[in-house]
A and B are shown apart, each in its own frame.
Chain A
Amino acid sequence: MAPGETVLVLGPSGSGKSTLTLCLDGLIPHVVEGEYTGRVTVAGLVVEDGPVHLLAQEAGLVFQDPEAQFCTLTVEDEIAFGLENLCRPPQEIEAAIDRSLASVGLPGYRARRLATLSGGEKQRVALASVLAMGPRLLVLDEPSANLDPRATSELFGLLRRLAAGRRHTMVIIEHKLDELMDWVDSVLVLDAEGRLLYRGDPATAFYEWGEVLSGAGVWRPETVELVEALRRAGWDVPGSPLDVAGTIDALSATPGLVERLRSSTYAGTDTSGRRLRRGGGPASGRDSVLEARGLSYRYRGGGAPSEALTDVSLSVRRGGFLAIAGRNGAGKSTLASLLTGVLEPPRGTVFLEGRDLTEMPAAALSERVGFVFQNPEHQFVTDTVRAELAFSLSPRAGRKGARQLTAEQRSRVDTWLDRLGLLALAEANPFALSQGQKRRLSVAAMLIRGQSVLVLDEPTLGQDESQAAGLMAMMEDFRAGGGTVVMITHDMRLIAQHADELLVLAAGRSVYFGTPADFFSRPGLVERSGLAVPALGRVSVGLHLAEGTPLGLLSVRAFVGDAGAGAAVERREERCR
């Protein structure tokens, strides 16, 4: 890597991305034991020979979870920590604290306690505490994974400025590619076995190696997926655009495309690719499965006097997909807990299939509503994968073994094991599974009883492309069978692609309830609620402003649906005739 270069590292989970970051910092081989061959040189220091304290000055690491990298209680102590370890004199440390806080845009945060900071602020303090040591190499391991969309774009804005300064060489691991595309210099791709698959410029990676990358379970920018899909439909999109601005230019320059979009059959406001339900608007009383009316909630005790939720109403129809979005701390998890009866809602506010939740016995409730927690491990209650599924059907069988199950139940467990691809691991401990397998098992343990509503709390967190796709496929299957999905997520792309209703919370209040397409075509509201328009939404807006095409094209499907077959395909069809 050249000095000042910014390199994006991609690979499916388990491909060794994090291992690579540890090698760059000398933690491997100096701290983490293992078999080590080859040679890493950072800023002229051979890592396996270099003393750790010199390496720590040259290479700074920022991890995924800010909480798991702090070791003190206040901002200033945290930033001082590394410099103290390097035996720097106190005056120099004081100056470095102010300097690095200013460089991450947090002046005046010196004396703040870390526990009182938001996730975004914590991550910036983590960055400041690394920058204070003056590293020439910055290594960031999914720094935005735990952040909400606003905090993510603030962090990326900061990193973009650092990258532009060219004083730091940056290695960044990220899933949220669309935000990175305009400032990453090159891409490095690892395959599932941890071998180097590709190293070079991003355009070549995503356009010429696209199939290989998708095959390896690597996320691709949505803009690239759009261009490729349009090309497959016969449109002659020029160049290989990566960022939003480049994609708008390329689509404008595509012969005939803009005209076609302008004259599209469902131009106007109703332009989500997934056509609006006839009658439009949220599901009303009769066909709704799950409903909340004027729901307010306040936690008892704990000294927090403010309401966690204030006057929230929503309804989801059978087979629907409701996404719940909002900043961290907006009340999303509280709402999910109330909808599932984990917390008891006030009488007369939450209704399942028309019945007040507070009047339903716990068993009846858990037969109808499943709740998938953020961390799958928290939900495991037995010692084997098979018992985990058996437990859902009969707690007795979960404890005493599958012999307690009826033949029908046993075959249901086997069917699910097969569907999850876990037949070979049926006797393994759930904790020993991969992240993706754990996630799917935790969902399956909820679905196997035939619940009609499934509520999920950020289920795609930390999942790679193919794992997330596997989960969403399960959701689509479930909905096809009449199941209803309620999902908390920070992933705007997922909302645009899958959800048909969106509830946005801000400070415990509902600020929007309706279709995602409508929400994302109101940039002011998106901004105020601390969310972000997904890349294709921004392409859609840009194209609308420049060329007058309709707004609200949020997904590849929507674009391709509106554009129809391109000139090239039509020519081919003519020839056939």
Chain B
Amino acid sequence: MKPAGYLDQRNPCIKLLAVVLAALSLTFIFDPVTPAVLFVITLAAGRFLGGLSLRSQIKPLWIFVIAGVAILLANIFFNKENATSPAILSLGAVKVTGPALWAAGTLWLRLMSFALFSLVFVKTTEPQHLILSLIHQLHLNYRVAYGTLVGYRMLPTLQSDYQTIRAAHRVRGVREAQGLLHIWSRFRRYAVPLLTGAVRRAGRVALAMDARAFGALPGRTYRERIVVRRSDWVFLAAVVAALAVVVAGLWMIGITRFTIE
């Protein structure tokens, strides 16, 4: 396990609020540079304040790189500015225009930033602390919160069950149909044994929790109280300030744009 860094010690709800604020402000910005700058800043924060290696931050994002290609293609073919703008590059009948690249870059970098914000949040947050923080700061019903935690616990089991069931079916001589058309038949084939197992396990956990007086009294105590310290507010203020400085700074030198035009 990695050592707890500055980000790990921040209150989970405050950290979540910071992520939401950053993501929200990006939705009003329509240029590729601003999200790119925020991406780099987050990367650095993850590295130096969260103890996350660059590799561990970038590698999980590969799926969004693929999404980027899709966004680019969609803009090359369907961006409505294409008809009126001059081509930067022409490949036969296909012309690549400036607005298409601009829009694709904006969307893609915004997506990458959202993904990275979430990734850094998840990797620096202990799930149990998030749950406790939701109970203590946002006054989420503790029954709901613990239910969520138990569900989270079951995910790895479901995954390994899925692998086992696939192997077991292959041994029976089931030839797995490939391709998109067969997603439904695959889903149906594995859903029944997976769900049977999950429902049974969920029932058992529920009994085990009831047996230990879960929900028997109106309230409960907590061994560990997640609190909001002054340093958490300082962190939030710093995030807001950084956002403001970046956006305002880039806007003043004419980079940040708040409209599509």
Contacts and interface: CB of A to CB of B under 8 A. Distances in A.
Interface in B145-189: 146, 149-150, 153, 156-157, 161, 164-165, 167-175, 189
Interface size bucket, A side? 35 or more
Contacts of B211: 25, 27, 56, 59-61
Interface of B: 126-128, 146, 149-150, 153, 156-157, 161, 164-165, 167-175, 189, 192-193, 196-197, 201, 204-205, 207-217, 219-225
Interface string A379-395: 11100000000011001
A45 interface: no
B205 A71 contact: yes
B199 to A, nearest CB: 11
A337 B149 CA distance: 33
Interface string A6-27: 0000000000000000100101
Interface stretch (A77-85, A408-416, A515-523, A536-544): A77-85
A53 B216 contact: yes
B213 A82 contact: yes
Contact of B128 (A51, A73, A85): A73
A68 interface: yes
A366 B217 contact: no
Residue of B153, B193, B223 with most partner-chain A CB within 10 A: B223
Interface in A57-94: 57, 59-61, 63, 65, 67-74, 76-77, 80-90, 93-94
Interface of A: 22, 25, 27, 30-32, 51-53, 56-57, 59-61, 63, 65, 67-74, 76-77, 80-90, 93-94, 97, 115, 129-130, 133, 337, 340, 342, 363, 366, 370-371, 373, 375, 377-381, 391-392, 395, 431, 445
B220 A87 contact: yes
A158 to B, nearest CB: 20
Contacts of B128: 72-74, 77
Nearest to A93: B223
B213 A86 contact: yes
A72 B149 contact: yes
Contacts of B214: 71, 81, 85
Contacts of A60: 211
A90 B212 contact: no
Nearest to A67: B157
Contacts of A57: 213
Given A71-B153, A129-B212, A373-B167, 12 more contacts: A51-B216, A61-B211, A85-B217, A86-B220, A88-B221, A90-B223, A130-B212, A340-B171, A373-B168, A379-B169, A391-B172, A391-B173
Given A56-B212, A73-B127, A88-B221, A342 B171 contact: yes
Majority DSSP secondary structure for residues of A touching B: helix
A173 to B, nearest CB: 15
Contacts of A69: 204-205, 208
A27 B210 contact: yes
A378 B223 contact: no
Nearest to B215: A85
A533 B208 CA distance: 33
A71 B216 contact: no
B193 A52 contact: no
B150 A71 contact: yes
Contacts of A370: 171
A164 to B, nearest CB: 25
Nearest to B219: A87
B227 to A, nearest CB: 13
A46 B6 CA distance: 53
A373 B161 CA distance: 12
A97 B223 CA distance: 10
Contacts of A25: 211
B92 to A, nearest CB: 41
Contact of A84 (B156, B170, B189, B223): B223
A90 B167 CA distance: 47
